[in-house]
Chains A and B, each alone.
Chain A
Amino acid sequence: MTKIYLDNSATTKPYPEVIDAMTFSMREEFYNPSALYKQAVETERRLTGARGIVAAPLGMKAENVVFTSGGTESNNLGILGHLKTLRGGGTVLYSGAEHAAVRNTCAEAEAMSFTVKRLPLDRRGSLDMQALEEMLDDTVRLICVMHVCNETGAVMPVEQVVALRDRLAPQAAVHVDGVQAYLRVPMNMKKLRIQSYAVSAHKVHGPKGVGALILQNGHKIGPLIFGGDHQRGLRAGTDNTVGAAGFAAAVSACRPEAYAALKQVKSEMAKALLAAIPDAVIIGPLPEDPDSASHILCISLPPVKAETMVHALAAEGVIVGTGSACSSRSRKYSVALSEMGVAPKLMDSAVRISFSAPNTLDEAKQAAERIAAQYQLLKKFIRR
């Protein structure tokens, strides 16, 4: 039985190139890039090169990159790091779809005397633009909106958010959590004039423990971690040269056409499941919608509980997720899905199938067959 890994939004398998690059970095280029001697200078050059490689897909340059420990820290730095440079408080807006890394960081902004408000979602999981328009005024200092929702795959209308910001609250910065979008959904930060963009290496076949915050030219943030003046004083601590090497190798190994091909993979998977399981319901935008990311499919398979389905599929060699993997230790309903008005019964049965570049159409077909078979088996036993 072939194993099919479809929980790529939780994490991805590192590419061999990534492992090679990190091994090389540890074996040969272990020097501290802050040191003076020749070998350290070479390590520093390579680190700068890695910054450039990570920044390039967003239309930015090496000097715009701050390496961090991952997506969560990048979001913390993007949000709190900017707010601490502001005086006089104001309003922070964040979308109801945000990951806990943004949601809970915004909650922290309340302790810094900012007024924090949640932007509602529509039933498809996209941002309610009318509500945003009504909430934008001259008190708004920061708008946080994710690029792709980790739970539904909805691509948020970042461009429209920026346009509204320019018209109604030009003083406000826009921070985008790009963890689920980076390399998979095009983004040109320069063109779009967003102020900061958070990314994570392990979602794109890089190592865990590395991420980056990409900053717009001239956008001000302050550090959250203090120490030496590494990374222009924005993030103290000896540079993670090994992680950076792995991250850069993952970006270099990325084939954009492989991500583009996932549109069909996701579409076929959805089609097969809807045909085999009449009660199945897609949560979020439909695969054919233009604002549906090609790599995330959230589908509810009532009456089978998602947790039971996940375990049953794992025994069949198919790995999928339930909602957001980060929250598998709490039984609370997903904030994003609740915000969309999804019925609790559908949330109980919602599995998240997430693809990445290595997944093939054939894998999707095989996985759909195994999901349908397990569904038919479990349906007989559960909640009669």
Chain B
Amino acid sequence: MREVLMMRFSEIHLKGLNRPYFMRMLVERIKEAVKDVHGHVWLSDSRVYVSDATDMDEALRRVRKVFGVHSVCRAVEMDKNDFEGILAQSVLLMEDKQGTFKVEARRSDKRYPMDSMEINREVGHCLNEKLPHLTVDVHNPGTRLSIEIRDHAYLYTEPLPAVGGMPVGTSGRATVLLSGGIDSPVAAWMIAKRGVLMSAVHFQSPPYTSERARDKVLSLGKLLSESLCGLNVHLVPFTDLQMQIHERCHPDYTTIVMRRCMMRIANLIAKQEHALALVTGESIGQVASQTLHALQVTDSVSQLPVFRPLIGFDKQEIVDLAIKIGTFETSSLPYEDCCTVFTPRHPATKPKLDIILDGEAKLDMETLIAQAVEHTEIVRV
């Protein structure tokens, strides 16, 4: 008898012939997650199991964050042929519970001498006798005692919800524009949840942005990396380009030209990372560069599709998600980033393409972009 974590997976069961590939990836991701606590991971009979971790609480915390896991149970694994043992363990699991209960047996081993209804009846009867403070309610029970008869018997009471989604790495790669604010980490997390392996680009304006702003972005990357299975953060020096934009472009258009330059650079870095899409944390109308007009002219320079998972979200909804995934506190640290240092007073909300193109024609864009990419520092977090 031992304690195991028994995981159900989310959408993978909808997959057809390539289902084994998704399962294999999920097992790999769970193995990575519990590697530090030396958990033993295996797949059996449509469940993934973790056992023998040095710290089962930590293993549980980690597997709940693995994309692709639907729910986790802390189950007791025991010999299925020792029915007396199963009864005794059922009493142990239920003795501190109050109110009503139901036994829910499930039998994937069809050769087992008792069927599910019989198991329910026997265990229910035993609990009624040994724990008279509990009463049966099969329609709306306070506690469900689950008994799964597989290669072993697995007993548990409270399945814990996990994050869901698809195993990272099953849906290709994408590159997120990570600003250090509240939105972009949430956007990265949402796309990664669909199984996408992420890398990140951050634009900095040395010396005008703080070393702490850089540390902040790397901290955010680190916070995300557990869910994202590691992250390459590309730190792009952006000052020279920003200064030239401010010197040579129309004052109201500096932000939009800057965004277009960021997109161009992000495309180049995405290619280095073999990414098939860019991801941003924009939502319609949040700031001047996020009006539909601005998004349209920003997108027009990107060869890769740009995904914006937060596009229809209100700020509060984004904040709530940021709190849930644990990035809000770090995102709220007050350091100037490259966008806030060089902000025009009246950024154009309905930018006109001819004015943009006119401004861009005055820039040494190719050279400056090449230099920025060349001097980009890559940090693996």
Contact = CB atoms under 8 A, between A and B. Distances in A.
A381 B345 contact: no
B349 to A, nearest CB: 17
Contacts of A312: 207-208
Nearest to B243: A381
Interface stretch (B93-101, B102-110, B333-341, B352-360): B333-341
Nearest to A306: B336
B345 A383 contact: yes
A376 interface: no
A331 B336 CA distance: 10
B54 interface: no
Contacts of A384: 246, 251, 254, 344-345
A311 interface: yes
A382 B344 CA distance: 7
Contact of B334 (A329, A380, A382): A329
A160 B1 CA distance: 80
A331 B334 contact: yes
Given A381-B246, A384-B251, A308 B334 contact: no
Given A330-B334, A384-B344, A307 B246 contact: no
A305 B343 CA distance: 11
Interface in B235-284: 242-243, 246-247, 251, 254
A383 B344 contact: yes
A307 B247 contact: no
Interface string A163-206: 00000000000000000000000000000000000000000000
A308 B340 CA distance: 10
A383 B343 contact: yes
Interface residues of A, number: 16
State the main secondary structure of chain B at its contact with A: loop
A315 interface: yes
Interface string B203-228: 00011111000000000000000000
B83 interface: no
B307 interface: no
A329 B334 CA distance: 6
Interface string A286-327: 000000000000000000010110011011000000000000
A314 B342 contact: no
Nearest to B251: A384
Nearest to A303: B345
B207 A314 contact: yes
Given A305-B336, A305-B341, A329-B333, A380 B246 contact: yes
Contacts of A329: 333-334
Contacts of B342: 381-382
B336 A307 contact: yes
Contacts of A382: 341-343
Interface residues of B, number: 20
Tell me the interface secondary structure of chain A in the complex. Answer: helix
A331 to B, nearest CB: 4
A307 B333 CA distance: 14
Contacts of B335: 307
A374 to B, nearest CB: 10
Contacts of A378: 208
Nearest to A315: B207
A384 B209 CA distance: 19
Contacts of B345: 383-384
Contacts of A383: 343-345
The interface centre, meaning the residue of A305, A380, A384 with most chain B CB atoms within 10 A of its CB, is A384
B307 to A, nearest CB: 31
Residue among B207, B243, B345 with most chain A CB within 10 A:
B207
A187 B201 CA distance: 55
B147 to A, nearest CB: 53
Contacts of B208: 308, 311-312, 378
A378 B341 CA distance: 10
A308 B344 contact: no
Question: Chain B CB within 10 Å — which of A311, A314, A383 has the most?
Answer: A311
Contacts of A314: 207
Contacts of B242: 381
Interface in A331-371: 331
B343 to A, nearest CB: 7
A329 to B, nearest CB: 7
A312 B206 CA distance: 8
A312 to B, nearest CB: 6
A314, A378, A381 — most chain B CB neighbours (10 Å): A381
Contacts of B343: 382-383
Please indicate which of the listed interface residues A329, A378, A382 has the most CB atoms of chain B within 10 Å of its own CB: A382
B206 A308 contact: no
A236 to B, nearest CB: 35
A99 B251 CA distance: 40
Nearest to A377: B243
21 contacts: A305-B336, A307-B210, A307-B335, A307-B336, A308-B336, A311-B206, A311-B207, A312-B207, A312-B208, A314-B207, A329-B333, A329-B334, A381-B246, A381-B247, A381-B342, A382-B342, A382-B343, A384-B246, A384-B251, A384-B254, A384-B344
Interface of A: 305, 307-308, 311-312, 314-315, 329-331, 378, 380-384
User: When A and B form their complex, which 3 residue pairs have the shortest distance between CB atoms, in order from nearest?
Assistant: A315-B207, A331-B334, A384-B251
